[in-house]
Structure 1
Amino acid sequence: MFPKNCWYVACTPDEFAEKPLGRQICGEQIAFYRDNNGKVAAVQDFCPHRGAPLSLGYIEDGQLVCGYHGLKMGRDGKTVSMPKQRVGGFPCVKSYPVEERYGFVWVWTGDASLANADDIPHLEWAVSDEWAYGGGLYHINCDYKLMIDNLMDLTHETYVHSTSIGQKEIDEAPVKTRVVDGEVVTSRFMDNVIAPPFWAANLRTKGLPDDQPVDRWQVCRFSLPSHVLIDVGVALAGHGGKDAPADKRVNSIVVDFITPETETSHWYFWGMARNFKPEDKELTDAIRTGQGGIFAEDLEMLERQQANLLLFPEYDLLKLDIDAGGVQARRMIDKLEKEEQQSRIPLESVSA
């Protein structure tokens, strides 16, 4: 199960620029496309005639045409027309609230009457000229909560990412986890360390020395339903760490939108936003390539972890202090799921 009365990142606009996109989100089969006004539409990926996926069709006059027998579907889920057929009695398919914002398409998979676009989180780095963003998408065969665990406990960097962002000081630094204003915040600070290869390269890019001690920080922020934004960076040692002047530090926001597909698979929208040299597109591409490689290192570990959990369901996993961020995030998700389930209980059942 997963919360459905919330906004998830579904896709990016380029994914349906030429033809409809079919994607499963929270167990829902959804087709995404643009109508004749250029607005994104999302309907159940199911033709009411013979059950064909509507996403295998095409767009004509802003309507989604089934590629099997030519049925035309409107953005409201109602059949508009079909060659040589009267469609007045055709059943509707489900349509979904959908918003295009910050370079992503957001979808609401639950009760449409509760959808409020104002609840989509504000992303300053996505609208400011002082920031640049580059990212990508991975499909991962594991429970989306395992990815949240991974991102809220960066201890694994020492081992999984030993040649890029990992270093032994990550293990040695104390971890602090707290819940602040509806977010789970896990922070780790490492003072007077040598920058690992990824950050050394970024120091050089900004014209800072890469062979001097730095103060490094990682501040992971989880918010419902499944978003993790991580403030990361290094500053020349002794200049204030995270609060150092801009000319003494290099920092970014690691962007992670984790969208459930099934109970054991998810869509992972990853990226990095930076506020130095935002105009340098070659640098954006280089960081995207490097970060994509780093995240790819997690893929095998997470998928094999999922396979093991399915093989050994009787094992209770340990919860250590380093797991606190993931544990708190899961509690928030579980609470939201429970609230949704209770809201769906018919009044007759409650009174009985």
Structure 2
Amino acid sequence: MSDTNAPEQKRFPLNAWYAVAWDFEIKRELFPRTICNKRMVFYRQSDGTVSALEDACWHRLLPLSKGRIEGDQVVCGYHGLKFNGHGRCTFMPSQETINPSACVRTYPIFEAHRFIWVWPGDPALADPALVPDLHWNLDPEWVGDGKTIQVGCDYRLVIDNLMDLTHETYVHGSSIGNEAVAESPFDVTHGERTATVTRWMVGIEPPPFWGGQLGKPGDVDRWQIIRFEAPCTIAIDVGVAPTGTGAPEGDRSQGVNGFVLNTITPETDTSCHYHWAFVRNYKRDQQMLTTQLREGVASIFREDEEILEAQQQAMNEHPGREFYNLNIDAGSMWARRLIDKMIAEEDGKPAALQAAE
């Protein structure tokens, strides 16, 4: 694995879609957010479309987020320059002629899967078909909710955490983890932009969370199928079914099934916006359960947040320290390779995926 803490290393590709926020968070008001070390400001225009501008006035660089919205334009809070949703200045105080260079950068925006997505890189390459697949968030066969966590760590540490769920045994032992997670074998496969870790735990005692969701006594067959889509989206197919009812062979009808949907957006080199949701295909009409699950998963993820921020702090204190890899790191290693491949291609360098150790 490459050294996460190397200062010269480019940590994220820019030619990719990153989740800015949940769709309901972007309103008719200025919403500042830093994405990939770029300060941006977002707002909805009167027709509902979202605009994304560089958060710095052309005149004296005051953040435009310190201003206000007037109609569909942003008014700078310092000297009143106005910029439309395309970044073009339409008004300057005390003069009729507007300098033709007066504009701020805009960023491509796409709205899908309950998120607002932004493309920080070359706008000519911003293909909506490349938006990560989180369709479960709007699929009528699934119901759920989620939140956003601000985590003080390199976004790739969150990816490492999600690609290796062995940590559930030790970090989440009171809820979703037990010894079976750490002891069960797993398979890792990969494609050009994806990596998948598949783990089946057959004939095990269910951990507290899943025992409660199933509501049936006895041992279970449990699955975790983790699908990474470069550079930073992970959908995890999870669930349990009574042992012997056919789940490993494809019949999950006697069990309960959910998806943990994750997309992690770099903020800076050592901080990120972690958007997540938990959706399920059972008891879909129970809003109370949706709220309980959202809050329960949030409590579990707070345990991860504590671990990840402590890890980042330790890395800051030991610059240049190289990571050592175990067999359980195979999924995260492939995710890192796919990210590095995107970065290399973006920088015009040859990139080849190597076989996993």
TM over 0.5: yes
In 2: Cα distance, 1:169 partner to 1:108 partner: 40
Q: 1:51 and 1:242, CA in 2 relative to 1: closer, same or farther beyond 3 A?
A: farther
Q: Which of 164, 167, 180 in structure 1 is aligned with 2:178?
A: 167
| SS of alignment partner, residue 158 of structure 1 | helix
Displacement of 1:32 in angstroms is 0.4
More helix by share: 1
Please say if 1:37 is aligned against 2:43: no
Q: 1:98 and 1:274, CA in 2 relative to 1: closer, same or farther beyond 3 A?
A: same
In 1: Cα distance, 2:14 partner to 2:174 partner: 38
In the alignment, which residue of structure 2 is the partner of 1:108? 119
In the alignment, which residue of structure 1 is the partner of 2:168? 157
In 2: Cα distance, 1:296 partner to 1:28 partner: 26
Please say if 1:184 is aligned against 2:190: no
In the alignment, which residue of structure 2 is the partner of 1:293? 299
Deviation track 1:252-304 (CA, whole Å, cap 9, x = no partner) reads 11011000011111100011111112232211111100000100111111011
In the alignment, which residue of structure 2 is the partner of 1:197? 208
Q: 1:242 and 1:70, CA in 2 relative to 1: closer, same or farther beyond 3 A?
A: farther
Deviation track 1:213-237 (CA, whole Å, cap 9, x = no partner) reads 0000111111111101101100010
TM-score (norm 2): 0.91
In 2: Cα distance, 1:126 partner to 1:14 partner: 14
> Could you tell me whether the CA contact under 8 Å between 2:82 and 2:90 is conserved in 1?
yes
In the alignment, which residue of structure 2 is the partner of 1:50? 60
Displacement of 1:151 in angstroms is 0.2
Deviation track 1:106-147 (CA, whole Å, cap 9, x = no partner) reads 000000011111221343323321111200000111111111
Q: 1:314 and 1:48, CA in 2 relative to 1: closer, same or farther beyond 3 A?
A: closer
In 2: Cα distance, 1:261 partner to 1:338 partner: 20
Q: Output the amino acid matched with 1:282.
A: M
What stretches of structure 2 of length at least 5 have no aligned partner? 1-9, 350-357
Q: Which of 255, 261, 279 in structure 2 is aligned with 1:255?
A: 261
Q: Output the amino acid matched with 1:130.
A: E
Report the identity percentage: 43
Deviation track 1:19-70 (CA, whole Å, cap 9, x = no partner) reads 2111010111110001232100001000112211111222221112222332
| SS of alignment partner, residue 62 of structure 2 | coil
Please say if 1:84 is aligned against 2:94: yes
In the alignment, which residue of structure 2 is the partner of 1:137? 148
In the alignment, which residue of structure 2 is the partner of 1:347? none
In the alignment, which residue of structure 2 is the partner of 1:16? 26
In 1: Cα distance, 2:137 partner to 2:59 partner: 41
TM-score (norm 1): 0.92
Q: Which of 129, 151, 154 in structure 2 is aligned with 1:118?
A: 129
CA RMSD of aligned residues (A): 1.6
What stretches of structure 1 of length at least 5 have no aligned partner? 344-352
Greater shift in the superposed pair: 171-180 or 154-163: 171-180
> Could you tell me whether the CA contact under 8 Å between 1:47 and 1:54 is conserved in 2?
yes
Q: Output the amino acid matched with 1:166.
A: G
Q: Output the amino acid matched with 2:146.
A: G
In the alignment, which residue of structure 2 is the partner of 1:68? 78
In 2: Cα distance, 1:280 partner to 1:212 partner: 25
> Could you tell me whether the CA contact under 8 Å between 2:155 and 2:266 is conserved in 1?
yes
> Could you tell me whether the CA contact under 8 Å between 1:129 and 1:278 is conserved in 2?
no
| SS of alignment partner, residue 22 of structure 1 | strand
In 2: Cα distance, 1:342 partner to 1:180 partner: 21
> Could you tell me whether the CA contact under 8 Å between 2:224 and 2:236 is conserved in 1?
yes
In 1: Cα distance, 2:152 partner to 2:140 partner: 36
Please say if 1:310 is aligned against 2:321: no
